[in-house]
Amino acid sequence: MVSHRANARQLAVLLSQPYECETDGCNAREHLQIDHIVEYGRSKRTCATQLGYKCAHCHYLKTHKHWRDGPKHPNGKRKLIPPNHPPPTAPGPGP
């Protein structure tokens, strides 16, 4: 049976990351929730590289208000993209 919940190995990978909401501009560090970067309903996969931490507010925006994650920036954060906005391009390597 396939599950949308992270298994022990996937949780170990996630727990090795900083415990902070990964949304750019949000520095919440308490009561974080595990989020599928690509919605489980679309991917039907739970993969350690596609899991991240979200605060309750940022997770609510994704789950109920149709916001979506942008690409991961070098600092480990992602922009939350409002509904009906085109996705941004991946950040470049810099100057």
> Which amino acid is located at 39 in the chain?
E
| Domain presence at residue 23 | yes
Whether pTM exceeds 0.75: no
Q: Which domain holds residue 30?
A: 8-81
Per-residue pLDDT of the chain (95 residues; tens, 9 = 90+): 445 677 677 777 777 788 899 999 999 999 999 888 866 555 555 555 678 889 999 999 998 999 999 988 998 899 999 998 766 555 555 55
Decide: 59 and 33 in contact? Cβ < 8 Å.
yes
What is the reported pLDDT for 18?
83
69 part of a folded domain: yes
Spatial distance between the Cα atoms of 69 and 1, rounded to a whole number of angstroms: 27
Number of structural domains found in the chain: 1
